[in-house]
Amino acid sequence: MNSSPRLDRSKILAGLRSLRESLAEARSCLMHYKDDRVDRDKLEPAARRVDDLMLMFAGTGADVVKGTIWITEIQNGIDRVVNPKSAAALQAARIDTDSLLAAMALEPGGDRAKAN
C-alpha cells in the first residue's frame, strides 16, 4: 500500500513533463513574428508555474491543494492565448492540465481522497 502514493506522484510528474513539452511547443509556434510576442509572453507565467510544480512533486513536500491551485492558474494562462498558431499545442496542454487535476484529486489530501 505504500507504493500507491509513489505511483501517483510518478503519474503527476509524467503529466507535468508532458505539460511542459506542450507549453514549450506552443511558445515555439509563437517565436517567428513580432506580433506573436504578446501571446508568447502570456504563456511565460504558466511555464514557470509548471517548473514550480515539478520541483514540488519531485521533492518531499508535495502539496496537492497548492498543486491544484497552480494547475488552475496554468489553465487560466492557457485560456488567455487565442493565437491559432499555437492552438494544437495548447489543446494538448489543456488535456494535460485536466489529467493532472484528476490525478491530484486521487492523491492523499486531494478532493476525492477527502470524499472517501
Domains and CATH numbers, the chain: 3-115 (1.20.120)
Q: Mean pLDDT across the chain, nearest whole number? A: 86
Q: Give the pLDDT band of residue 104 (cuts 50, 70, 90).
A: confident
CB 14 within 8 A of CB 99: no
Is the full-model pTM beyond 0.95?
no
Residue 110 confidence (pLDDT): 56
CB 69 within 8 A of CB 111: no
Residue 77 confidence (pLDDT): 94
The single-letter code of the amino acid at 105 is A
Q: Find the mean pLDDT for residues 52-66.
A: 89
Residue 116 confidence (pLDDT): 38
Residue 4 confidence (pLDDT): 45
